[in-house]
Structure 1
Amino acid sequence: MAKVLQILSSRHPKGRSLYKVVCRGEEWVGLVLWTGAIWHFKARDLHLGWDPLIRSERLQLIVHQARFLVPEMAREPNLASACLAASSRDLPAQWEEYFGYRPLLAESFTDPESHAGTCYKASGWEALGFSGRDGRHYAERLPEPLGPKKLWIKILHPQAKALLCSNPLSEAYRAGLAAHVAERSALKAPQLSSLFEAFQKVPDPRSRCARAFPIGAVLT
């Protein structure tokens, strides 16, 4: 594993992570780092039909390919797509072995300024859209933003999209649900207001001489 870390030059990210080595005989031909999914990505969430609460509950069922590298000495035509296909094919079982559940979807970013993402397309990944201007992800500790990244997704189960939106979620995948989701609100901060503020807007039926205290204070 020290060799993997040295080649990838990557610090250990937060949360779950899985390092994989794709081998051809004794030769290392691909290095992959899988981590937890990005918290919010509009194109992905719309594609899946997720609202904020569903995303909070089921995000762990998506894994993020944070790093992918074919060592320079091993590079040859079609090898990158073959490594991606092999890594994705074995991912659900290997993730379950370490973390107790099978993910349903994989995601990754490519930099359109340096890579067309051809190997992702060739190995069955689907392009969804572009990240925000900075293209940040918690697994990448970068000092400066590097511009928008292209998001790719790969289904890991034939019914992945349906399962990720199903209500209730299939028993086989409930081990991947996040805890305490019911405590979170689907509303954004600007949409939240206090009960007192709401009561202040209630029409006051009292006569003027009976309004010693504001209606909001009385109702509260």
Structure 2
Amino acid sequence: MVCRGLMLELHREGHIELPPVRYLRNNPLARRTKPAPAEIDDTPLHTSLAGLGALELRQVRRTPDEALFNSLMEQHHYLGYTQPVGEHLKYMAYAGGRPVACLAWSSAPRHLGERDRFIGWSPEARLKNIGLLAYNTRFLILPWVVVPHLASHLLGRVAREIAGDWRRAYGHPVHYLETFVDPQRFRGTCYRAANWILLGLTTGRGKDATSSKANRPLKQILGYPLVKDFRQRLAHPGAK
């Protein structure tokens, strides 16, 4: 794929000429339509965490609420909605029956230098156990909801439930959570308040980068171990 990408780039810049395309692969992902807009109660909700009342946290993947989750992400998250590939879960938080937040989790990146050094696992163990990590790809508090400490509270709630939910969905738990924060947009305060650990910065290169130069914004890497012995569990090639 790296070679193919390089040849396409050379072709587009006029350095080489590739032969005409003979076959177009059927890619249903390229034809996927965006989620339809959802109509929900968007009355401003400005209160304290205690004043919000009982919060219900639901894992909504493969449930009737998944379409609403997708729609809210598409409408209100600055990155929009992207269909995850591989193992993933979706959570929605409700207050008084109204959605107030959405959190998306998926398989973790294969290699992340600061994270891999923090865990201390070998390349063999990483290859075997990368599925025991979950990556927070999206976190959305709906724009009309202003509740101090809600975000960190929800991160704590998910951290207590996600290992069991992942086991029920995929037959194995997760032992470690991670995410990226763009410091040009956000400070990551809610993650720090929920005791996530700042590990460092990304290199600014994608997984298929052809050089050592940064080609995208550097992001903060934050991690959250779910068990005290996460290093021992993840560093063993046969861990579960």
Tell me what 1:8 maps to.
73
Q: Is the contact between residue 29 and residue 75 of structure 1 (CA under 8 Å) also seen in structure 2? A: no
| Aligned-partner SS, 2:135 | strand
Where does residue 26 of structure 2 map in the other structure?
none
Distance 1:84 1:77, change over 3 A: same
Amino acid at match of 2:137: A
Deviation readout 1:30-82 (Å, 9 max, x if unpaired): 20111000111111111111222111111000010111111011222111111
Tell me the secondary structure at the aligned position of residue 116 of structure 2: helix
- 8 Å CA contact 2:177–2:226 kept in 1: the answer is yes
Does residue 24 of structure 1 match 2:24?
Answer: no
Query: What residue number does 1:119 align with?
Result: 190
> Equivalents in 2 of 1:3, 1:88: separation in Å?
23
Deviation of the 1:167 alpha carbon: 6.3
Distance between the aligned counterparts of 1:78 and 1:118, measured in 2? 10
* Alignment partner, residue 128 of structure 1: 199
Matched ranges for 1:1-220 at <5 A: 1-9=66-74, 10-134=81-205, 136=206, 146-166=216-236, 169=239, 173=240
The amino acid that maps onto 2:71 is Q
Query: What is the one-letter code of the residue matched to 1:29?
Result: V
Specify every segment of 5 or more residues in structure 1 that has no aligned partner in the other structure, as ranges.
Answer: 139-144, 174-220
* Residues 75-116 of structure 1: per-residue CA shift (max 9 Å, x gap): 221111111111221111111111111100010011111111
Partner Cα separation in structure 2 for residue 137 and residue 22 of structure 1: 32
Conserved in 1, the CA contact under 8 Å of 2:125 and 2:237?
no
Please give the alpha-carbon distance, in whole angstroms, between the structure 2 residues aligned to 1:91 and 1:150.
Answer: 23
| Separation in structure 1 between the aligned mates of residue 125 and residue 115 of structure 2, nearest angstrom | 13
Structure showing greater radius of gyration is 1
Corresponding pairs, count? 163
**Would the alpha carbon gap of residues 168 and 13 (structure 1) be closer, same or farther in structure 2, given more than 3 Å must change?**
closer
How far apart are 1:146 and its partner, in Å? 4.6
Q: Normalized against structure 1, the TM-score is what? A: 0.69
> One-letter code of the match for 1:18?
L
Partner of 2:212: none
* 1:119 partner letter: C
Over the residues paired in the alignment, what is the CA RMSD in angstroms?
Answer: 1.8
Aligned partners of 2:101 and 2:142 also within 8 Å? yes
Structure with higher helix content: 1
Structure 2: gaps (5+ residues): 1-65, 75-80, 209-214
